[in-house]
């Protein structure tokens, strides 16, 4: 058995799960999400506990067992407390600001970078150098943060660019000059 797949998920208060055909619908105070349910994997909802079982020991089904449980757990956390990613901007003259539903980034280019806020995602600029991305869908929050970081990834010599707040940039020494 998969160690992740065999452990059950406990639903917090005000969160309900309902299997519907090939999906599991999760409703909570922040919204509703669904996760796919593959053939050969059955779900059983007993009160506030949800468990997943697989029908046989095929290699593909063993992998899907843990995947379905992990995706379901991400949905449960998303609709109950939500997901968050924090970005930091480093560099002279680099800054971010919010204009309507757009994130406007000044990253040393000859033009401003305008990033529209995706549906289901909330982007906040706490000060000019910190960006907070929140939402209920873990994949969408992570992809949005990666897209913003992709405009100017941190470079290893001075650390200029956009990085995750918990990311460590490995620095290089650079040139030492003539002697």
Supply the pTM of this predicted model: 0.88
Same domain, 158 and 117: yes
One digit per residue, the tens of pLDDT, for the chain of length 179 reads 468 888 899 999 999 999 998 999 999 999 999 999 999 999 999 989 999 999 998 888 988 999 999 999 999 999 999 999 999 999 999 999 999 999 999 999 999 999 999 999 999 999 999 999 999 999 999 999 999 999 999 999 998 999 999 999 999 988 876 65
Residue 137 lies in a domain: yes
What confidence score (pLDDT) does residue 177 get? 61
Same domain, 153 and 92: yes
Same domain, 106 and 136: yes
Q: Output the CA–CA distances (angstroms, integers) from residue 150 to 23, 63, 84, 132, 154, in the order listed.
A: 32, 31, 18, 16, 9
Residue 174 lies in a domain: no
What confidence score (pLDDT) does residue 2 get? 60
> How many structural domains are present in the chain?
2
Residue 149 lies in a domain: yes
What confidence score (pLDDT) does residue 116 get? 96
Q: Under a CB-based contact definition with an 8 Å cutoff, are residues 73 and 79 in contact?
A: no
What confidence score (pLDDT) does residue 1 get? 47
What confidence score (pLDDT) does residue 5 get? 83
Residue 38: half-sphere exposure toward Cβ, Cα within 13 Å: 17
Q: Nearest-CA neighbor of 131 among 141, 139, 74, 140? A: 141
Same domain, 62 and 18: yes
Please give the order of strands across the beta sheet that includes 49-54.
9-10, 49-54, 41-46
User: Structural domain of residue 115, as residue ranges?
Assistant: 83-164
């Amino acid at each position: 058995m998969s160690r992740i797949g065999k452990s059950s998920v406990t639903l917090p208060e005000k969160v309900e799960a309902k299997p519907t055909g090939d999906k599991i619908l999760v409703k909570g105070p922040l919204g509703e999400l669904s996760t796919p349910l593959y053939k050969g994997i059955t779900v059983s909802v007993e009160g506030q506990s949800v468990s997943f079982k697989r029908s046989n020991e095929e290699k593909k089904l063993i992998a899907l067992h843990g995947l379905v449980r992990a995706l379901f757990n991400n949905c449960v956390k998303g609709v109950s407390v939500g997901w968050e990613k924090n970005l930091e901007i480093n560099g002279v003259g680099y800054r971010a600001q919010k204009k309507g539903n757009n994130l406007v980034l000044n990253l040393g280019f000859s033009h401003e970078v305008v990033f529209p806020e995706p549906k289901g995602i909330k982007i906040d600029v706490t000060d000019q150098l910190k960006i907070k991305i929140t939402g209920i869908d873990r994949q969408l929050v992570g992809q949005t943060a990666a897209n913003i970081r992709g405009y100017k990834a941190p470079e290893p010599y001075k650390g200029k660019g956009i990085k995750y707040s918990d990311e460590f940039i490995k620095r290089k020494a650079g040139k030492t000059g003539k002697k």
